[in-house]
Structure 1
Amino acid sequence: MNGRELVAWNMRRLRVAKDISQERLANEAGVDRTYVSRLERKMENPSIGILDKIASALDAHVSELLREPDTSEQPTPLKAGRKPKA
Structure 2
Amino acid sequence: MDAKHLVAWNIRRLRVLKGISQDDLALSAGIERSYAGHLERGTKNPTIVTLEKIAGALSCELLELFVPMPKNSEPLLPLKSGRRSKT
Q: TM-score, normalised by structure 2?
A: 0.90
Where do residues 2-81 of structure 1 align in structure 2 (5 Å cutoff)?
2-74=2-74, 75-79=76-80, 81=81
Q: Which amino acid aligns with 1:22?
A: Q
Tell me what 1:85 maps to. Answer: 86
Shift of 1:85: 2.9
Instruction: Return 5+ residue gaps in structure 1 as ranges.
Output: none
CA distance in 2, matches of 1:8, 1:51: 11
Deviation per CA, 1:47-69, whole angstroms, max 9, x where unpaired?
00000000010011111111101
Secondary structure, aligned partner of 2:79: coil
Matched residues, percent identical? 46
Shift of 1:45: 0.4
Number of positions where the alignment pairs a residue of Structure 1 with one of Structure 2: 85
Shift of 1:72: 3.5
The alignment's C-alpha RMSD in Å is: 1.1
Q: TM-score, normalised by structure 1?
A: 0.91
Instruction: Return 5+ residue gaps in structure 2 as ranges.
Output: none
